[in-house]
Structure 1
Amino acid sequence: MYWEGNEPDQDGKLTYSELLDKVCQLANYLKSVGVEKGDAVVIYLPMLMELPIAMLACARIGAVHSVVFAGFSADAIAQRITDCKPKVVITCNAVKRGQKLIPLKDIVDASLVESAKNGVTVGICLTYENQLAMKKEDTQWIAGRDVWWQDVVPNFPTRCDVEWVDAEDPLFLLYTSGSTGKPKGVLHTTGGYMVYAATTFKHAFDYKPTDIYWCTADCGWITGHSYVTYGPLLNGATVLVYEGAPNYPDPGRCWDIVDKYGVTIFYTAPTLIRSLMRDGSVYVDRYSRKSLRVLGSVGEPINPTAWRWFYNVVGDSRCPISDTWWQTETGGFMITPLPGAWPQKPGSATFPFFGVQPVIVDEKGREMTGECSGYLCIKKSWPGAFRTLYGDKDRYETTYFKPFSGYYFSGDGCRRDKDGYHWLTGRVDDVINASGHRIGTAEVESALVSHPKCAEAAVVGIDHEVKGQGIYAFVTLVDGVPYSDDLRKSLIMAVRSQIGAFAAPDKIHWAPGLPKTRSGKIMRR
């Protein structure tokens, strides 16, 4: 594992043997503080090597990790803590992303105050000292609860027996946006997920033992679980973990990293491709990129213009693109090209992975054949399928299996062309895909309405040149309250503090009234 820090001169590496030692030390520490098989551990870390180490330490002792993306707010963490009731929270004092300092420990402190109000207290907050961002003495501290990672973990043995689990025992919980406001705790089990993450990684990227693989995703999302941590490591791959922003200190940073480490497989999101495209090819052309042989795209459908730029400019028209369609719920790739196996079409995810049976149905649930457009469903099960929504089996059945009886409903629209290629057309429910982050419209609406001057809000997705989808909010104010730019900023801050900066509305539209259905629901169409 290679690690590249925020600044270009910060780096590190671990062999598999050294990684195992660190995983075992943390696993032994967790056992020493009472973490047992089946217990939850919440992880709120940036992209340090300690993030995959923490995930693997939980897996080693049969604990269930729940990684929370380090861009989420205190309220969002508190919701997850309240739902899964972890024995331990693992974080670090701070991180620098570009030139911005983010005090992660302060955010966790606020979340633990909030979760305690909901009746859930966490006994231990294990905190890694990220010296490059903040010193120990500048970190807020609660004696008795807070523990420095560096003070305890290195003292434990580098051998830890594996806690063997059943194939269907839980491996992790990952919360994803739901259209009803409350995040859904997607539960993945051990055996099937492991097989699926390993197999899809190997074939969709044509992985070879000599490859240097870099996926730009954060481990706070499913891509970082399946294709930074589990899939690559199960194949014995050399993985790159990058802490910083892709455009810091300038928009050539990605290609600088590619040349520095000789990256051969580069897997990223259309949002990043579009933002780098906007900066022009001059930053790409400065670097050789000769090591690259396979490119990948994840998180949302990639528009043909961005696909062509990625292929022609970044890959010098010689690297196939694995444009992957899958979801948090599927655990791994469902529809994806296999490099070199068949002709590609810019913007199409092409054909299903081995054994996956996608179907396109109409609104009555009837399968359509040939060229068509409709709702994307899966006909038969696959090893990586999530097993339930934590503590909410009814919602699991209602959301995924009720809409079209006998099928798993993806929530996505899809078009199949005359050659059988699949083209994803985006979400058909009330979830917005902004920069590859799935954001429930109801979550954003409830954050807006929590503002004392907001009476009602309706949120919809709009096309966005860089993010794929932007967030457009229609807001009705409390009677007598005038519209103002300060109020607009205050509403955006309400969303930022309750959910995170990535969910902040791009545009607020002052609306004296909102259209309603007969039952009083806001119409968003």
Structure 2
Amino acid sequence: MINLNKISKSLKSIQFSKRTFSSSVLASKKFQLSEPFNYENDIKYSQQDQINFWDDVATKYVHCGDEANPEWFKGGLVNACYNAVDVHAKDPITKNRIALIHETPSKDNTNTLTYGDLWDEVCTFSRGLQNLGVEKGDRVVIYMPMVNQIVIAMLACARLGAIHSVVFGGFASPQLAQRIEHSKPKVVISCSFGIEGHKVNHYSPLLEKALELSSHKPNHVIVYNRTDIIPDTPSPSIKNSIDWYSLIKSLTPLRDFTPVDSTHPLYILYTSGTTGMPKGVVRDTGGYMAAMNYAIRTCYDMQPGDTFFSGSDIGWVGGHTLSVYGPLVTGLTSIIFEGKPTIPDAGVYWKMIEKHRVKAWFSAPTAIRAIHRDDADGKIASKYDLSSLQSTWLGGERLDLATFNFLSKVTKKPILDNYWQTESGWPMITNASVQFPIKQNTTGKAFPGYNFFVLNSKNERLGVDQIGEVCAKLPVPPGFANTLYLNHEGYKKSYLDSYPGYLRTGDSGFFDKEGYFTIINRVDDFINVAGHRLSTGSIEEILVKHPKIVECVAIGVNDEIKGEVPFGLIVLKPQYKDQSDEIEKELIKQVRETIGPVATFKKVMAVNRLPKTRSGKILRNILKKMYNKEEYVVPPTIEDMAVLDEVDKEFEKYKLEEIEHKKHKEENKKYKAT
């Protein structure tokens, strides 16, 4: 048996370095890691004896090398690629198991790789990178669509100890340039084109422009020129770039790998911030490997050989965790989905689940709302065999009741909320393996490894049903980002300084008497109405319950008398668009009856669609500034710029109608007075 004590000791330093602990924390073990998973056991163990808890996880799941190389264990050295690929590819039982399934539904295109195939591909590309001078600690920017080669590129970097930074393929040149400038990669890896719905997106012109904009010039640019799909218009080439296939032609696979300290950065992932320079979240290697193994098995109840489907793009943290590292270190089959949830029709997700016998899947509520909009009664979904599915997981934004009910009706299986962040890298609050009753309108309970409290601005713990900021008691578990790239002071300011002894999440919420947490919104998503603080989330919760509404948002707009008043924007189901006036009146009445007159909710407007980032987050702050005629910065992550013009025109129309209404009201008042 491989002795992992040394890696376990190294894992302790990930979040626990430079801190002292009382004797109770370092006390002898009173618990054991549960097998099979038992939530109550593991949450108590992780909160009362965190160091031994993670030692047990690392010892049980993380692999350092093989018995022929005992020096790799020294100091807890580990390699993420070895854990994700070699462990399975070198085992005759799992070598021929499918590791990746690349699906492009709009082109009816499928590509699969077994763990053995993936090992060969990764090791060969690793040799190519090594020949270009890539080594431990170098940064490599990866700008690619959802194809198997993006995973190969990530793993090849990890094999060499290089730090990959995946940039979301939907970003334009200025945002890509910004990330190249900041991370200063030795190599940039890209792709000729990607498929977004029915549209072909050519990457080469965007990358070439980004390289012109950035003062940092990488030593090499590698382009994967796709052959699985032939676009109508060929992709232009980049001057002096290296073709992927030419690079690896006739190369011998690099079977060796570079062992790194458990604290060595695995990747940099830039957040999807709406303003300013995005933060480069740094993920370590050893802690992430331990966390991935534990979370995939115990949160999502997945076992080696199962199939997991995540709708998240690999350019975001959900894709890193639920499409790449999480499934692979656990020995799952992962679906790499290149497409949109309603193309070619609203049944494409259900087709994936039926075709590949998916056991569990993850999506953002935004994607489900789009499916619900096109298949309101679930007739399309009913055509597919979803019997393999055991659970559906939602994350990235608040799970509304209409989406919950639609999924419950369609899948007839548990619908679970997930709360996590780019910084955490894996679930923080959820219903692990559905081990306690599902409560609608709650997020779940703290996941083992975390101990959450709700605090006020005075750093005081609040009680049951009291709203404050949700904070995690330090230390946070392995796998949580422990710095920002080249900005550790910024890390401390953003996460540690506000509440000494706690890590701030930036999200408001509360917990009930049974320990269920409800995440409401970001802490700054409150409206100050005549001195009364109202949560936009509480208003949105009422609006979205209306059966004729697809989605909504509440913002605070300026008011001469009350300072701010809430304003609701709603998107109606297509068949009800001619009933907007009636529905708006119903909503105003419902908010008043539920929250009370204090809400002063008198403004609501129907729009065709809401402005969002490509990850599905509604741009509340921009809507607020747009209505108030304040300057705003359009984020690079915006999905469709045209939506802003559409909503702005509706705002102006609404304001003119409001002026006419006030004018008419004043005239009536004068008439009655005379």
TM range, smaller chain: 0.7 to 0.9
Q: Structure 2 counterpart of 1:123, which letter?
A: N
Tell me what 1:126 maps to. 222
Equivalent-residue separation in structure 1 for 2:489 and 2:141 (angstroms): 24
| 1:196 Cα offset (Å) | 0.7
Tell me what 1:172 maps to. 267
Equivalent-residue separation in structure 2 for 1:346 and 1:19 (angstroms): 41
| 1:9 Cα offset (Å) | 2.6
Equivalent-residue separation in structure 1 for 2:517 and 2:619 (angstroms): 24
Tell me what 1:360 maps to. 454
Matches within 5 A, 1:227-238: 227-238=322-333
Structure 1 residues 468, 417: CA separation in 2 closer, same or farther (over 3 Å shift)?
A: farther
Q: Structure 1 counterpart of 2:517, which letter?
A: H
Structure 1 residues 309, 142: CA separation in 2 closer, same or farther (over 3 Å shift)?
A: closer
Percent same amino acid among aligned pairs? 33
Structure 1 residues 390, 340: CA separation in 2 closer, same or farther (over 3 Å shift)?
A: closer
Say if 2:312 is the partner of 1:163: no
Tell me what 1:302 maps to. 399
Q: Structure 1 counterpart of 2:432, which letter?
A: L
Give the alignment partner of residue 204 of structure 2, picking from 91, 96, 105.
105
Equivalent-residue separation in structure 2 for 1:463 and 1:157 (angstroms): 58
| 1:248 Cα offset (Å) | 0.9
Say if 2:597 is the partner of 1:501: no
Tell me the secondary structure at the aligned position of residue 432 of structure 2.
coil
| 1:129 Cα offset (Å) | 1.1
Provide Cα deviations, 1:338-357, integer angstroms capped at 9, x if missing partner. 23311001232211111210
Equivalent-residue separation in structure 2 for 1:396 and 1:505 (angstroms): 34
Structure 1 residues 123, 133: CA separation in 2 closer, same or farther (over 3 Å shift)?
A: farther
Tell me what 2:145 maps to. 46
Say if 2:356 is the partner of 1:261: yes
Structure 1 residues 463, 227: CA separation in 2 closer, same or farther (over 3 Å shift)?
A: farther
Equivalent-residue separation in structure 2 for 1:20 and 1:58 (angstroms): 13
Equivalent-residue separation in structure 1 for 2:271 and 2:188 (angstroms): 19
Give the alignment partner of residue 507 of structure 2, picking from 389, 412, 418.
412
Q: Structure 2 counterpart of 1:131, which letter?
A: T
Q: How many residues align?
A: 465
Give the alignment partner of residue 215 of structure 1, picking from 298, 310, 315.
310
Give the alignment partner of residue 425 of structure 1, picking from 520, 524, 527.
520
Retained in 2: the 8 A contact 1:205–1:322?
A: no
Retained in 1: the 8 A contact 2:272–2:637?
A: no
Matches within 5 A, 1:394-413: 394-413=489-508
Equivalent-residue separation in structure 1 for 2:489 and 2:121 (angstroms): 40
Equivalent-residue separation in structure 2 for 1:151 and 1:100 (angstroms): 28
Say if 2:437 is the partner of 1:343: yes
Tell me the secondary structure at the aligned position of residue 43 of structure 1.
strand
Equivalent-residue separation in structure 2 for 1:397 and 1:178 (angstroms): 18
Matches within 5 A, 1:5-404: 5-7=104-106, 9-115=108-214, 119-132=215-228, 138-144=234-240, 146-178=241-273, 181-279=276-374, 280=376, 281-313=378-410, 315-316=411-412, 319-380=413-474, 381-404=476-499
| 1:8 Cα offset (Å) | 5.5
Structure 1 residues 461, 360: CA separation in 2 closer, same or farther (over 3 Å shift)?
A: farther
Tell me the secondary structure at the aligned position of residue 453 of structure 2.
strand
Tell me the secondary structure at the aligned position of residue 372 of structure 1.
coil
Equivalent-residue separation in structure 1 for 2:307 and 2:628 (angstroms): 53
Provide Cα deviations, 1:293-324, integer angstroms capped at 9, x if missing partner. 111111112012211211222x22xx223311
| 1:331 Cα offset (Å) | 1.6
Q: Structure 1 counterpart of 2:170, which letter?
A: G
| 1:197 Cα offset (Å) | 1.7
Q: Structure 2 counterpart of 1:501, which letter?
A: E
Q: Structure 1 counterpart of 2:426, which letter?
A: G
Equivalent-residue separation in structure 2 for 1:12 and 1:86 (angstroms): 29
Retained in 2: the 8 A contact 1:377–1:410?
A: yes
Equivalent-residue separation in structure 1 for 2:420 and 2:491 (angstroms): 18
Matches within 5 A, 1:427-466: 427-429=522-524
Q: Structure 1 counterpart of 2:501, which letter?
A: G
Structure 1 residues 347, 133: CA separation in 2 closer, same or farther (over 3 Å shift)?
A: farther
Retained in 2: the 8 A contact 1:200–1:333?
A: yes
Structure 1 residues 461, 99: CA separation in 2 closer, same or farther (over 3 Å shift)?
A: farther
Tell me the secondary structure at the aligned position of residue 368 of structure 1.
coil
Tell me the secondary structure at the aligned position of residue 171 of structure 1.
strand
Retained in 2: the 8 A contact 1:40–1:65?
A: yes
Provide Cα deviations, 1:45-91, integer angstroms capped at 9, x if missing partner. 11100111111111110000000111111111101000000011111
Retained in 2: the 8 A contact 1:463–1:470?
A: no
Structure 1 residues 464, 470: CA separation in 2 closer, same or farther (over 3 Å shift)?
A: farther
Provide Cα deviations, 1:5-41, integer angstroms capped at 9, x if missing partner. 2436311111111101111111111111111100000
| 1:158 Cα offset (Å) | 2.2
Q: Structure 2 counterpart of 1:160, which letter?
A: R
Structure 1 residues 98, 505: CA separation in 2 closer, same or farther (over 3 Å shift)?
A: closer
Retained in 1: the 8 A contact 2:174–2:213?
A: yes
| 1:474 Cα offset (Å) | 3.3
| 1:501 Cα offset (Å) | 2.9
Structure 1 residues 46, 91: CA separation in 2 closer, same or farther (over 3 Å shift)?
A: same
Equivalent-residue separation in structure 2 for 1:30 and 1:429 (angstroms): 44
Retained in 2: the 8 A contact 1:321–1:339?
A: no
Tell me the secondary structure at the aligned position of residue 501 of structure 1.
coil
| 1:177 Cα offset (Å) | 3.4
Tell me the secondary structure at the aligned position of residue 227 of structure 1.
helix
Q: Highest CA radius of gyration, 1 or 2?
A: 2
Equivalent-residue separation in structure 2 for 1:242 and 1:224 (angstroms): 10
Equivalent-residue separation in structure 1 for 2:435 and 2:251 (angstroms): 48
| 1:371 Cα offset (Å) | 2.5
Q: Structure 1 counterpart of 2:504, which letter?
A: F
| 1:178 Cα offset (Å) | 4.0
Structure 1 residues 291, 34: CA separation in 2 closer, same or farther (over 3 Å shift)?
A: same
Structure 1 residues 136, 100: CA separation in 2 closer, same or farther (over 3 Å shift)?
A: closer
Unaligned runs of 5+ in 1: 434-440, 442-459, 479-490, 512-525
Structure 1 residues 424, 75: CA separation in 2 closer, same or farther (over 3 Å shift)?
A: same
Tell me the secondary structure at the aligned position of residue 378 of structure 1.
strand
Q: Which has the higher contact order (CA 8 A, sep 6+)?
A: 1
Q: Structure 2 counterpart of 1:474, which letter?
A: K
Tell me the secondary structure at the aligned position of residue 369 of structure 2.
helix
| 1:137 Cα offset (Å) | 8.9
Tell me the secondary structure at the aligned position of residue 419 of structure 2.
coil
Tell me the secondary structure at the aligned position of residue 324 of structure 1.
strand
Structure 1 residues 184, 503: CA separation in 2 closer, same or farther (over 3 Å shift)?
A: farther
Structure 1 residues 388, 468: CA separation in 2 closer, same or farther (over 3 Å shift)?
A: closer
Q: Structure 2 counterpart of 1:312, which letter?
A: K
| 1:224 Cα offset (Å) | 0.7
Equivalent-residue separation in structure 1 for 2:569 and 2:485 (angstroms): 33
Provide Cα deviations, 1:370-427, integer angstroms capped at 9, x if missing partner. 2321101100221111011111112111111122222110011112123221111111
Tell me the secondary structure at the aligned position of residue 354 of structure 1.
coil
- The CA RMSD measured in Å over matched residues stands at 2.8
Tell me the secondary structure at the aligned position of residue 278 of structure 1.
helix
Equivalent-residue separation in structure 1 for 2:277 and 2:641 (angstroms): 15
Q: Structure 2 counterpart of 1:241, which letter?
A: I
Tell me the secondary structure at the aligned position of residue 618 of structure 2.
strand
Equivalent-residue separation in structure 1 for 2:175 and 2:321 (angstroms): 23
| 1:151 Cα offset (Å) | 1.8
| 1:504 Cα offset (Å) | 6.8
TM-score by length of 2: 0.65
Give the alignment partner of residue 469 of structure 1, picking from 608, 614, 618.
618
Equivalent-residue separation in structure 2 for 1:242 and 1:461 (angstroms): 37
Q: Structure 1 counterpart of 2:262, which letter?
A: A
| 1:132 Cα offset (Å) | 4.8
Equivalent-residue separation in structure 1 for 2:641 and 2:483 (angstroms): 26
